[in-house]
Structure 1
Amino acid sequence: MSQVPPPRYRIVERDRRLIVIDNWAGDKAPSSSFPQVPPTASLPPTPSPSGRDLLPRTSGGSANRIARAGEDGGTLLRQLALAACAGAEDAEGRPIFTSASWFDSKAKREFSLGRSGVERLGGTVLAFLIFIGLIAILAFAIGFEALFVPVFLFVVVGKNIPAIGTRWVDRLEKLPVD
């Protein structure tokens, strides 16, 4: 009996992307009767660093409604939501939210966010940034004694952060993915 030849293609993951490697590319002639690709044939496009396809955009604006500028202030909230999602997006360009165990007792959950989810996550991040900015302004204007109240509140509320965060993530997960 003859041996099974080694596979021609190998699939590996690099930087959260799947890459197909041709094992016979280094050989001058493949050892089977498969048709050879002429050297003038065009190669398929390589994936972009963002992981999106390199297909041309259709006319009529952005294919992703969430990213379209000028809709309900969506650009700032989308950027904040993407920052909270560490830039992870699904195939349709929706941010993928991943929860962590320090604020979600049901962690690790991953789900895509629709427009309403992006607005809620972006709004929450914006509210936290404004709150931190106000605390910093008070600390510099009044003095570091002004940090006593926020630190005290954080200590009191701190033990309940996972319960509060879990309820917030549950509501975020139930929002429609449009």
Structure 2
Amino acid sequence: MRPPPTRYKVVERGRRLEVIDTLTGEPVSRSSAPLPLAGARGEVGPGPRDLSAPPSPASGRGAQAGSAGLDSGTFVTRRWYDDKAPRTIRMNYSNRARLTNLRYGIAVAVALLVVLAFLFWPFALVLVFVVIANPKIRTQIRTGITRWIDGFDQA
């Protein structure tokens, strides 16, 4: 079985390639301007990131920008887990290693909580409700996380 013939063909005219529509026999016109190459001058989109300094809060969105995280040069804290938030912490090798270890610790803790929730089904709901509803426990957890994050600023 043979595929049908293509509608367009490419020919060379005057050392330039042109696309010809075989139904009309005329060159295909370009409906819009070509997209600029990445990194070209006059580019409208975001340029290369400058990781020499953390974003400042005076620069508009600053702390709310989506470019901060564990894999970038900065880490921006949030109010729900840090009393001194939002603050920008510059990431170095030791800070990145501590946060990577924290990721693994959280993954293990969540796995254990899922197993315990299946083993002790009604008790697990009560325990989660007590932790979420009690403002004193939430304040203690947030204070501990804030002290732990303060260690990043000193490192």
Using structure 2 for the length normalisation, give the TM-score: 0.49
Report the structure number with the largest CA radius of gyration. Answer: 2
